[in-house]
Amino acid sequence: VNGPARGGAAAAAARPDARTLLEPIQDELKRVDALYHESLRSESPHVRALVDHAALFSGKRLRPALVLLAGRASGRLTDAHVLIGAVVEMIHTATLLHDDVLDHATTRRDVPCVNALHGNEIPILLGDFIYAEAFALLSRIEDRSAIAELAKTTRRLCTGEIDQNCARGRFDLTIDEYLRIIEDKTAALYASSARLGAHYAGATAAQVAALAEYGRLLGIAFQIVDDCLDLAGDEKSAGKSLGTDLSERKLTLPVIRLIERVDARKAEEVRRLLAADGGDDPRAALRALVDFAPDVASARSTAARYLREAVACLDALPASPARVSLADVAGFVLDRER
C-alpha cells in the first residue's frame, strides 16, 4: 500500500539521492543561500546569533528548490528566481519560529527551538524580522506578481494556523476540514513557489497552472506525511519534537481515520484520552490504548495518491532533467523520515 509514488521497490532502489535531484539548479541554490544570509545580516549581535541559529532549521530547502526547478522545467531562470527562492525560505523559517511557540516544541533539526532557548518573545520577534526582510526583497522585483502572490499566501498560512488552533479539541473534525487547514498552512506556500517559478520563467498559462497544482498536491502530501511522522515517527530520525499534535489536541488524518475505524466504545476512549493531558508521552498513551498502525498506513496511502496526481501534472511540461527532478521530489516526500 505504501509503495513510492512512482511504483514499487525497483523505482525506490533506482531513486537518485538529494544531490542528483538538485543538480539542474545547484548553482542557483547556492545563490539563494548567499542572498538569504546577506539579506538578514544585522548590526545587532543578538539578531546575528539568532538568524544563524534559525538557519539551522532550513534543512531540505524544498521550497526554493521548487521555485528553481519549476522555472528551469518551464522556461528560463532569472535573478527573480533566486530572490523568490530566498524569500520563500525566509517565510518558511519565520513560520517555523512561530509554529514552535504555538506547539510548545523543544527541538527542530536536532537543535533546540528558539522558544526553548529564549522563551516565546524572541522567536515571535525574530520571525517578524525575517518576514519583514522577505517582503523588502520582494519589493525589488518590478513584476509585482510575486509580492501580491506571497502576501496572499502568507494570509493563508496564518488563516490555516488560526483555524487549526480554533479546532483544537474538536474531535468531530472532518477530513474536508482537515484538508482545508493543511492546504492553507502548508500547501499554499508550495503552490506559490511552483507557480512563481513558472511565471517568472515565461511559461505558458497552462504550464503555470499545472505547476501550481503540482505544488499544491505535493504540499498536501507533505503535510499528511508530516502528520504521520508526528504520530508514529522516531524523534531521533526526525530531529524534532513529535507528538505535538496529540499534546496540542490537533486532529490529523491518521487520528481521524482511527476514530472512524474503531467501534463506538473504543472511539470514546480515544477521545477521552485526547481530551485529557496525555502526560509526557501522549503517543505511548495512545499506543497502549489502540494499535494505530493501520491508520498511519491508510493516511500514507492517501499521501501517495496525492503524489501520483502531482506527478501527473508534470505532463504539461516538455521532457527535461528538471522535470525528472520534480517527479523524484514526490518520492522523497513520501519516504522521508524527517
Residue positions counted in the chain: 338
**299 closest CA partner among 235, 220, 234, 236:** 220
Query: Which one of 157, 198, 208, 327 is in contact with ligand FPP (CB under 6 A)?
Result: 157
- 226 binds ligand FPP, rule: CB under 6 A: yes
Nearer to Mg ion, 56 or 206 (CB): 56
Of the candidate residues 33, 103, 149, 226, the single one contacting Mg ion (CB under 5 A): 103
The number of C-alpha atoms within 13 Å of 175 and in the hemisphere containing its C-beta is 12
Shortest reach from residue 280's CB to ligand FPP, in Å? 18
One residue of 61, 185, 199, 216 binding ligand FPP per CB under 6 A:
185
Residue 156 interacting entry, from ligand FPP, Mg ion, none, C-beta within 5 to 8 Å by type = none
Detail the DSSP E strand segments found in 82-218. Answer: 107-108, 111-112
Site for ligand FPP (CB under 6 A): which residue of 51, 94, 196, 208? 94
Cα distance between residue 48 and residue 96, in whole Å: 18
Task: Tell me if 149 contacts ligand FPP by CB under 6 A.
Answer: no
Report the distance separating Cα 63 and Cα 42, nearest Å: 24
Give the count of residues interacting with ligand FPP (CB under 6 A): 18
Q: Is 230 near ligand FPP (CB under 6 A)?
A: yes
Q: Is 161 in the site for ligand FPP (CB under 6 A)?
A: yes
Interaction of residue 193 with ligand FPP, rule CB under 6 A? no
- Burial zone of 55 (CB within 10 Å; 0-12 exposed, 13-18 middle, 19+ buried): middle
Which listed option, ligand FPP, Mg ion, none, makes contact with residue 230 (CB within 5 to 8 Å by class)?
A: ligand FPP
Q: How far apart are CA 161 and CA 272, in angstroms?
A: 24
Euclidean distance between CA atoms 141 and 308, whole angstroms = 34
> Burial, 13: exposed, middle or buried (Cβ in 10 Å; 0-12, 13-18, 19+)?
exposed
**Which of 89, 99, 133, 309: binder of ligand FPP (CB under 6 A)?**
99
Amino acid in position 130: I
Q: Which stretch binds ligand FPP (CB under 6 A): 93-101, 173-181, 192-200, 214-222?
A: 93-101
Q: Is 99 in the site for Mg ion (CB under 5 A)?
A: yes
198, three cell numbers: 513558472
Among Mg ion, ligand FPP, none, the one that 309 touches (CB under a kind-dependent 5 to 8 A) is none
Grid coordinates representing 118? 529564549
Pick the binder of ligand FPP from 131, 190, 200, 222 (CB under 6 A): 131
Of the candidate spans 13-21, 41-49, 94-102, 271-279, the one that interacts with ligand FPP by CB under 6 A turns out to be 94-102
Query: What SS3 class is residue 129?
Result: helix
156's CB contacts (< 8 A; 6+ apart) are: 184, 185, 188
Q: Which is nearer to ligand FPP, 33 or 230 (CB)?
A: 230
The binding site for ligand FPP (CB under 6 A) comprises 91, 94-95, 98-99, 102-103, 105, 127, 131, 154, 157-158, 161, 185-186, 226, 230
The binding site for Mg ion (CB under 5 A) comprises 99, 103
